Chains A and B, each alone.
Chain A
Amino acid sequence: MIELNLKKLLNIENKDQTLDIDIKIKTREFITLFGKSGAGKTTILKMIAGLVQPDEGFIKVNGQLWFDKEKNINLPPQKRKVGFVFQDYALFPNMTVEQNIKFGMEKEDKNFLKELLEITELYDIKDRKPVTLSGGQRQRVALARAVARKPDILLLDEPLSALDFEIRQKLQEKLKEIHNRFDLTTVLVSHDFSEIFKLSNRVFVLENGKITRSGKPEDVFVQERLSGKVKFSGEILGIKKDDVVCIVSVLIGGNIIKVIATQEEAKSLSVGDKVVIASKAFNPFILKID
């Protein structure tokens, strides 16, 4: 059980804003922090890791106090068992893949190292240096390195945002696999709806420094309960007027679909909007792929 009670004064875009959150995360849960850029999500991760100090509050992990302002407790990051995957991967350029992963191990555990290299499919390139690796490979090294320490919490700061769609899909699977295999408690910061729906048990929505909504992804994001059984979340790419209707192009996963809307409806829609596309189970065709 991880209890986070954090207050911090932030300066976002030259405006002062207080970050004020109070959440409990169950062991082995996979939760996502969702919110606009700069909302403070990375700061929250850094506070959990001990890289940034909250102004007030406490952090309790499995009964151990990592931070408590009143009791003047503030464990340095070295003493907290966290695995942090940074947005820019932060791999050590002077070390090989294997050396990077071993770096966080307190005692070198050859078997565990081999297991990690295999599960992240890095065994064949374990002697290469980061500069020679692709984005997806670097991300896997960062992940393996963070997990090598057998952390109490795994913190992921938009780890997949710089990768292209296919690699992202594969790595999402890997994340889930690693989370389950090593019984981790994971906090993910992400913008990507499919990632959130695929991976998390719960989502926390951060707005103006506070958690405004929380719950299962399908409860938090699909505002109303709709009877339609065919539902996707996506993003509007374009709205084109045609005759008396509008054709709305929506990006769903890696696919672009077109949906008809009335011009009236289209008035309330704009490019970039996150939408749910819903239809009834009775409606779609099923065509087999040979």
Chain B
Amino acid sequence: MNKLKGYIKNINSSQNLSIVEIDLNGIDICSIVVETPETASYLKTGNQVFVLFKETEVSIGKNVQGLISLRNQIPCKVTKIEKGKILSKIDLECKEHRIVSIITTSSVERLNLSIGDEVTAFIKSNEVSLMEI
């Protein structure tokens, strides 16, 4: 589980859903939650929250160009690669945050990932959860 601390920058709600923008000290992450400021007391601009997303929900892109629907596109550097038979664990660094990604080993090889590479971490907003501090 990736758990990063930031504060709520902006909340945009419909009747039951909200898009919450969180500022992780320079990086922006976006989360869609089935909550509104009326149903969840911690949804207030300025509040500190934890941002959670599973490692298996972090996709990696190298030399990416073009439009992608994924809202969260975070530029990172590869700091560690642990290769398994089918899956691999990639440690990424962005500013002072550490993000872990789990992708297929074949993708690691296809992207020719190595330590030091500049890549983009992709996370869909509906895969990002919030936790009250």
> B129 near A228 (CB under 8 angstroms)?
yes
Q: Which residues A238-255 have CB closer than 8 A to chain B?
A: 243-245
> A225 near B84 (CB under 8 angstroms)?
no
CB contact between B88 and one of A226, A244, A281 (< 8 Å): that residue: A244
The verdict on A227 contacting B126 (CB below 8 Å), with A262-B55, A262-B100 known, is no
By a CB distance below 8 angstroms, the chain A residues around B32 are: 282
In the assembly, what is the distance between CA of A115 and CA of B103, in Å? 62
The verdict on A262 contacting B102 (CB below 8 Å), with A225-B40, A227-B35, A244-B84 known, is yes
Interface centre among A225, A229, A260, A278 (most CB of B within 10 A): A225
In the assembly, what is the distance between CA of A283 and CA of B54, in Å? 12
By a CB distance below 8 angstroms, the chain B residues around A243 are: 84-87
Min CB distance B72 to A, Å, is 14
Residue A224 at the chain B interface, CB threshold 8 Å = yes
CB contact between A262 and one of B50, B85, B89, B127 (< 8 Å): that residue: B89
> B102 near A245 (CB under 8 angstroms)?
yes
The interface bits of chain B over 10-31 (1 if a CB of A lies within 8 angstroms of the residue's CB, else 0) are 0000000000000000000001
Min CB distance A209 to B, Å, is 30
By a CB distance below 8 angstroms, the chain A residues around B42 are: 225
The interface bits of chain A over 215-232 (1 if a CB of B lies within 8 angstroms of the residue's CB, else 0) are 000000000111111000
Residue of B nearest to A282 (CB): B126
By a CB distance below 8 angstroms, the chain B residues around A228 are: 129
> A224 near B131 (CB under 8 angstroms)?
yes
Residue B115 at the chain A interface, CB threshold 8 Å = no
> A225 near B132 (CB under 8 angstroms)?
yes
Residue of A nearest to B128 (CB): A280
In the assembly, what is the distance between CA of A286 and CA of B127, in Å? 18
Min CB distance A281 to B, Å, is 5
The verdict on A226 contacting B131 (CB below 8 Å), with A262-B89, A281-B34 known, is yes
Please list the 4 inter-chain residue pairs (A to B) with the smallest Cβ-Cβ separation, ordered nearest first. A243-B84, A244-B84, A282-B126, A225-B132
Total A-B pairs, Cβ < 8 A: 59
> A226 near B56 (CB under 8 angstroms)?
no
In the assembly, what is the distance between CA of A157 and CA of B98, in Å? 48
The verdict on A227 contacting B86 (CB below 8 Å), with A260-B56, A262-B102, A282-B32 known, is no
> B131 near A227 (CB under 8 angstroms)?
yes
By a CB distance below 8 angstroms, the chain A residues around B40 are: 225, 227
Q: Which residues B106-133 have CB closer than 8 A to chain A?
A: 126-127, 129-133
Residue A265 at the chain B interface, CB threshold 8 Å = yes
Known: A225-B40, A226-B52, A245-B87. 4 other contacts (CB 8 A): A225-B132, A227-B40, A244-B84, A244-B102
In the assembly, what is the distance between CA of A161 and CA of B56, in Å? 38
In the assembly, what is the distance between CA of A226 and CA of B42, in Å? 10
In the assembly, what is the distance between CA of A224 and CA of B51, in Å? 13
Residue of B nearest to A229 (CB): B34
Residue of A nearest to B56 (CB): A260
> A225 near B131 (CB under 8 angstroms)?
yes
Q: Which residues A192-236 have CB closer than 8 A to chain B?
A: 224-229
By a CB distance below 8 angstroms, the chain B residues around A225 are: 40, 42, 131-132
By a CB distance below 8 angstroms, the chain B residues around A282 are: 32, 126-127
Min CB distance B4 to A, Å, is 14
Residue of A nearest to B49 (CB): A227
Q: Which residues B59-101 have CB closer than 8 A to chain A?
A: 82-89, 100
